[in-house]
A and B are shown apart, each in its own frame.
Chain A
Amino acid sequence: MHLAGGRLRDFARGCDALGGGGGGQARYALPLAAHAVELTGPVQVVQPAELPPDGLVMPCTFLGAPAIGAERIGTCREAATIRVHIERHFGKPVVAMLCNEIGGFHGAASVALAAHAGLPMLDADGMGRAFPGMSRVAMHLAGVTPDPVVLADEHDRVVAVHAGDGWAERMARSVVVGFGDRGVSSEYVMTVDQVADAVITGSVGKALRIGELIGEAASVPDAARAIVAEFDGLLIAEGRVTAALPEPGRHTPATIEGTGADSGRTLRLEAGHEYLAVIEDGEVLATVPDIITVFDTYTGEALGAGELRYGQRVVAVALPCPDVWRTPAGLDLVGPAAFGLDLPYRPVAAS
């Protein structure tokens, strides 16, 4: 499997769908990925079994404020710089890049980073969706240490943070502040051996498949039906947004009123940086960490939590999250309570 051309566009669509309203929009990272692939050729997507067991897997992601990233678009060579430092530190070659967060912007951006670093991408990621925060990754649950966190800016300034769990994210963030609120970082570097139990496997292929389903469908609701059928999700409803968030990032509910076959239904959509829960008549239909996705039926785009507006025609679906998030430790980290919701977690069941 490789990523290039039209498959990149499909992949980006799938990343947006897996963002669950968070993680920024993959469509904004798509030009970066397309240009990188034009320079370096297609990015190969590999399985752990294809890699040498003692080779290093390097997670890599952008950090900082979106408004800064829109101006300081960087070189994506930051990933190559970080790779050199990691290889020097560990004394071993890096054999693959790992996408930290498949959902949204970072999923598509990781293709650009991998291409510039000259690495294939592992068919996996750290979240299986999008979450805010550096430690909400499967690697953390598996006990992999984030150290050293290696950060670089677009002028090849590099900082390695050896601060231990709990402090790594704090120190890394203050380094990014020093860079001017924009940088690229790598943490939770692993050997291929370690990867099996420490990442969410199959994420890249899943995003690509979701994007293909969207591209093949005759209409957006058809695409939503195809996606829930293939990934054991729940088609929540078709409807129109009748109340939207006054500000992104706030815990304020949006309302979706059913249309067509769903007429008469009213859904409450709790949202923060991403969609957190869907509630109908006091009954919870889906919550984090399951993935709640709202497609605009006119454009087919997966709407970010900050993009909801009155009057939009939408179709909402919920997809089951990776199993690791459904464990007690996983729910501690990313369950409804971790996002300030006083709701029980009820796993999404296939419709």
Chain B
Amino acid sequence: MSKPPITSILVLCEGNHCRAPMAEGLLREALGPAVRVSSAGLDALVGAPPDPEAMRLMKAHGVDIASHRGRQVTPEMALESDLILVMDARQRAWCVDLVPSACGRIFLLGHWLGSPPPDISDPYGQGPDAFRLAFDAIRQSVTAWVPHLRSEQRPA
């Protein structure tokens, strides 16, 4: 083992309403119970269920996120997580301001998809097509993250 395992992941988006719940659901499905995945919003619609369109897409994918309720991120949440994933560079800056000490743990969800990493734009109120795009981007990103999050063997 070469580096500390990632045991808890916090996914952030703006409203904790569409993107983060989808990413949370996909990560949880991919990583299983070994890693604690949670999500929160930088400016959350507290207590709100996910967007129906997001729920529909996730359901079609086979993950039920209906039980999710929006919550506002706190510094404690950020400090307790080993890894914080955000949707775009602006949110990263926002999050660094919130918890400067966590600066090194904040990554874009699209980190492994290219350089510079693509942002995942907010589908809120944009109609089903935007949601479809966001969902695809999130799914690609999560797929790219997963190998990096499993305890890997050191390359020879």
The answer to whether A and B assemble together is no
Taking Cβ atoms with an 8 Å cutoff, the residues of A that contact B are: none
Q: Give the interface of B toward A (CB within 8 A).
A: none
